[in-house]
Structure 1
Amino acid sequence: MAAINTITPKNILSLAIPAIIAGIAEPLISLTDVAVIGNMDKNAVEGLLAVGLVGSFLSAIIWTLAQTKTSISSIVSNALGSHQIDKINSLIPQVIWINIALGLVIYAITAPLSSWIFTLYNAKGTALEFSISYYQVRAIGFPLTLSAFAIFGIFRGIQNTSWAMIASLSGAVVNVILDYLLVYGIPSYIPAYGVMGAAYASLVAQVVMLVIALFFLYKKTPFKPHLLTWNPHPKLKQHIALTTNFFLRTAAINVAIFLSYRYASGYGEEYGATHAILMNIWLFFSFFIDGFASAGNAIGGKLLGSKNARGLLYLGKTTAIYGIIVAVMLVIICGIFYQFIGHQFTESNLVFELFTSTFWVVLLMQPINAVAFVFDGIFKGWGEASYLRNLLFVLTAFVFIPTLLILDYFEFKLYAIWTAFGLWMLGRAAILAYKFHLRIKTMEI
């Protein structure tokens, strides 16, 4: 029984709560952009659609490349559990510089192609113009965001999510303040930049997050990122292999999100704008619940390194329960303020009607999402990148896409999209929970 007691609710919550706050900062930036732009006096629907489309594409890129955070967290937490943390010091700067280089390359490729990219999303006219200009500013932050995420992964690996929380929360606060100042402006002092004001606000917020993350890395960790050696670290190959599989896993997720925006925009600008609101709320909830997945990721990797099967079983059950409780609380709160939430994002009557008729589907998914995210986080901490990759490939190809196509044929529109997401998440939750318990039994034997 001693093995079980090595992990307590306090251990889990001390990682999960800061991770929740850190995790919601990024979607909070996007939600703020959506809320502020959705209430502009001119071109609000077009601006809302543009921010939704760009946010979707940015998330696709950032989530894919930010998997370096997951892989470095897995390596660091395993090294911590096996008491070999001193052997990965030179790996840290190599990972950070790889992320910077990736960010620069992606910006150089995508910025000139932004018109073509957002045409693929069915953006037209003013919405397309907004999408292009908004993206070209937001994309400058790729190297900043990816560097910060790599550092956050290092923090998580050494069992600390508070520093990432401080950095992310600071960036979110800066973004909220600048959003209102730059989008609406202040007469005689600051011009109203509209959609571009939101882009500038987000870019400054990314700078703030990175500066604070670097401060904690230099001052609070044993790693010295300025000591860059050009000889590849022995674990760099493992990091790249994990990252590649996490890339592919996330690519499958982004296929689903891309198709959802493409179909929603195809139904009309109001449908696309409504889907942008629903998707940003869904992502906000996802990152909120994902705090427990971060705890599972950090602790799970450490427990695997020390071969503690009983501790892992306790971790899985406890984090899943906590995640479900938080999800249910979010559902209840949103149920109480159902219409109020819709009014905060739009003044368009049609968008509001579409939102209120569909939002309940998003809410019903949240307890299922909690289970899926928690076990996904634990599997990431174990370094099970190839299994997660294959699972997402199968579910996207054989659950999400067929459901979307069939229900779209019967003109379910937004219901088609969100039913497909619901079944997709149910598959993730059920299979990962089953695989987790099967793995624990094998370890105990």
Structure 2
Amino acid sequence: MPAINSITPQSILSLAIPAIIAGIAEPLISLTDVAVIGNMKDNAVEGLLAVGLVGSFLSAIIWTLAQTKTSISSIVSNALGSDQLNKINSLIPQVIWINITLGILIYIVTAPLATWIFTLYNTKGTTLFLSISYYQIRAIGFPITLSAFAIFGVFRGIQNTAWAMIASISGALINVILDYTLVYGIGDLIPSYGIMGAAYASLAAQIVMLIIALYFLYHKTPFQLHRLSWNPHPKLKRHIALTANFFLRTAAINVAIFLSYRYASGYGDEYGATHAILMNIWLFFSFFIDGFASAGNAIGGKLLGSNDAQGLKYLGKTTTTYGVMVALILVVLCGFFYNTIGIQFTDSAIVFDLFLSTFWIVLIMQPINAVAFVFDGIFKGWGEASYLRNLLFLLTAFVFIPALLILDYFDFQLYAIWIAFGLWMLGRAIILAYKFHLKIKSM
């Protein structure tokens, strides 16, 4: 297919493929924790539910605060498109240090409140104890993860997702190795730490990712973390405004996820554990497909900066096509290995049966998710934070929550949760695709 204003399938894939690998590293860490803990000899179901609940809460905070990655990526890519990259040199260290400070503050506030937080998820007994213990270690990684994500946003803004890929995949490999080593132990050499071993493994993975990200920041970009100016950069206000709106957008997403775990836990530990597996697989698929959204984010911001309507039209069509194709491939592969996938995550017959009866809903959502994620990424690159915020508020309040309440009333249980998610994602896909085409016509 011929290039349109220098945008080719190759230029899209060169950003999307590394972004896919980088994106799946974080959910891969969570999936590894789920798989390893779900097969422990003692308290496997309780541990699985605890990891799912803590992972949900961690994701709620990290996704919300990590929207600084999206806003800084939008600003950097727009500066690149308008050939003004040199004018944001002092902005980058300010953003990264703000993220570090936020991470420390969140840890200080939430760590003492862990018991209260996880009681809100309907947890009790062994599950509550394990949740608190696991969280106390994982939460130390807040400032580490948030600073790494801000750096990844810089890389994406300058049209490079390979460096984030290297950092993320290195962290994921460290996590897999340490998970098996610390959770199960090695004979008399290393004791078995159980769920705490998974927490230490995840923390080590986050440290590795940050170290590698800092290396590329210092050696491959013009931005330096130590060159901090105490005079706020002129674009810092725009960054904060974008981030605030992305915060609120993500908060709406996390309301849906919180309610899903609360309802699932209320149905029983086995239901909660099953939902933890399904949610982690859903997130893994989401981050996988989100690689094309990352390409749309980076290239879309650059094309908007150069006012290239034709390039944007081509970008939207191509990234959507690729995203849907990848989603369909994932669906077909999981269809072939439907039973085998469930076995990897649990030894509980009840959890396994619940998984088999519900997993198909997660699968049929994937092509819809692909469309929603791709256009969501492009809108982020455009800096359309307030529009995305309002859309997620409306869909959560008037689609997800009513669907969940109605279906729960009729005792659909896990089906209620996942059908509600399906309708929620369908709304995002349709509205964003329509809004994108209106935007292109107006340029």
TM-score range normalised by the length of the shorter chain:
over 0.9
1:29 equivalenced with 2:65 (yes/no): no
Counterpart in 2 of 1:241? 241
User: CA offset at residue 3 of structure 1?
Assistant: 7.8
CA distance in 1, matches of 2:285, 2:5: 30
Counterpart in 2 of 1:88? 88
Does the Cα contact within 8 Å between 2:2 and 2:8 map onto a contact in 1? no
CA distance in 2, matches of 1:204, 1:329: 33
The one-letter amino acid paired with 1:309 is: A
The one-letter amino acid paired with 2:402 is: P
CA distance in 2, matches of 1:251, 1:393: 9
Does the Cα contact within 8 Å between 1:3 and 1:308 map onto a contact in 2? no
User: CA offset at residue 5 of structure 1?
Assistant: 4.0
CA distance in 2, matches of 1:43, 1:224: 47
User: CA offset at residue 373 of structure 1?
Assistant: 0.1
Q: What SS does structure 2 have at the residue aligned with 1:224?
A: coil
Q: What SS does structure 2 have at the residue aligned with 1:4?
A: coil
Q: What SS does structure 1 have at the residue aligned with 2:299?
A: helix
Counterpart in 2 of 1:428? 428
Deviations 1:370-414 (A, max 9, x none): 000000000000000000000000000000000000000000000
Counterpart in 2 of 1:77? 77
CA distance in 2, matches of 1:36, 1:155: 32
Q: How does 1:226-265 map to 2 (within 5 A)?
A: 226-265=226-265
Counterpart in 2 of 1:58? 58
Deviations 1:300-355 (A, max 9, x none): 00000000000000000000000000000000000000000000000000000000
CA distance in 2, matches of 1:379, 1:74: 10
The one-letter amino acid paired with 2:129 is: E
Does the Cα contact within 8 Å between 1:3 and 1:310 map onto a contact in 2? no
In structure 2, runs of 5+ residues without a counterpart are: none
Does the Cα contact within 8 Å between 2:67 and 2:247 map onto a contact in 1? yes
The one-letter amino acid paired with 2:43 is: N
Counterpart in 2 of 1:319? 319
1:117 equivalenced with 2:149 (yes/no): no
CA distance in 1, matches of 2:335, 2:2: 42
CA distance in 2, matches of 1:159, 1:97: 22
Counterpart in 1 of 2:199? 199
Counterpart in 2 of 1:102? 102
Q: What SS does structure 1 have at the residue aligned with 2:380?
A: helix
Counterpart in 1 of 2:139? 139
Counterpart in 1 of 2:416? 416
Counterpart in 1 of 2:398? 398
Counterpart in 1 of 2:274? 274
1:307 equivalenced with 2:290 (yes/no): no
1:44 equivalenced with 2:63 (yes/no): no
Q: What SS does structure 2 have at the residue aligned with 1:433?
A: helix
Counterpart in 1 of 2:220? 220
Does the Cα contact within 8 Å between 2:49 and 2:269 map onto a contact in 1? yes
Counterpart in 1 of 2:350? 350
CA distance in 1, matches of 2:108, 2:350: 38
User: CA offset at residue 236 of structure 1?
Assistant: 0.1
Does the Cα contact within 8 Å between 1:49 and 1:273 map onto a contact in 2? yes
CA distance in 1, matches of 2:3, 2:9: 14
Aligned residues: 443
The 3 A distance-change label for structure 1 pair 3 and 178 is: closer
Counterpart in 2 of 1:437? 437
Does the Cα contact within 8 Å between 2:242 and 2:383 map onto a contact in 1? yes
CA distance in 2, matches of 1:99, 1:3: 38
1:208 equivalenced with 2:211 (yes/no): no
Counterpart in 1 of 2:332? 332
Does the Cα contact within 8 Å between 1:64 and 1:247 map onto a contact in 2? yes
Q: What SS does structure 1 have at the residue aligned with 2:412?
A: coil
Q: Which runs of 4+ in 1 moved over 2 A?
A: none
TM-score by length of 1: 0.99
Counterpart in 2 of 1:291? 291
CA distance in 2, matches of 1:83, 1:336: 49
Does the Cα contact within 8 Å between 1:282 and 1:362 map onto a contact in 2? yes
Does the Cα contact within 8 Å between 1:74 and 1:382 map onto a contact in 2? yes
CA distance in 2, matches of 1:279, 1:5: 39
Counterpart in 1 of 2:10? 10
Deviations 1:99-119 (A, max 9, x none): 000000000000000000000
The one-letter amino acid paired with 1:284 is: F
CA distance in 1, matches of 2:5, 2:153: 26
Q: What SS does structure 1 have at the residue aligned with 2:245?
A: helix
The one-letter amino acid paired with 1:17 is: I
Q: What SS does structure 1 have at the residue aligned with 2:41?
A: coil
Does the Cα contact within 8 Å between 1:76 and 1:158 map onto a contact in 2? yes
Does the Cα contact within 8 Å between 1:56 and 1:258 map onto a contact in 2? yes
CA distance in 2, matches of 1:39, 1:237: 48
1:176 equivalenced with 2:176 (yes/no): yes
Counterpart in 2 of 1:160? 160
CA distance in 2, matches of 1:76, 1:15: 15
Does the Cα contact within 8 Å between 1:368 and 1:429 map onto a contact in 2? yes
Deviations 1:140-188 (A, max 9, x none): 0000000000000000000000000000000000000000000000111
CA distance in 2, matches of 1:424, 1:210: 34
Q: What SS does structure 2 have at the residue aligned with 1:214?
A: helix
The one-letter amino acid paired with 1:351 is: V
% identical equivalent positions: 83
Q: What SS does structure 2 have at the residue aligned with 1:107?
A: helix
The one-letter amino acid paired with 2:352 is: F
The 3 A distance-change label for structure 1 pair 334 and 138 is: same
CA distance in 2, matches of 1:198, 1:224: 33
User: CA offset at residue 2 of structure 1?
Assistant: 9.0
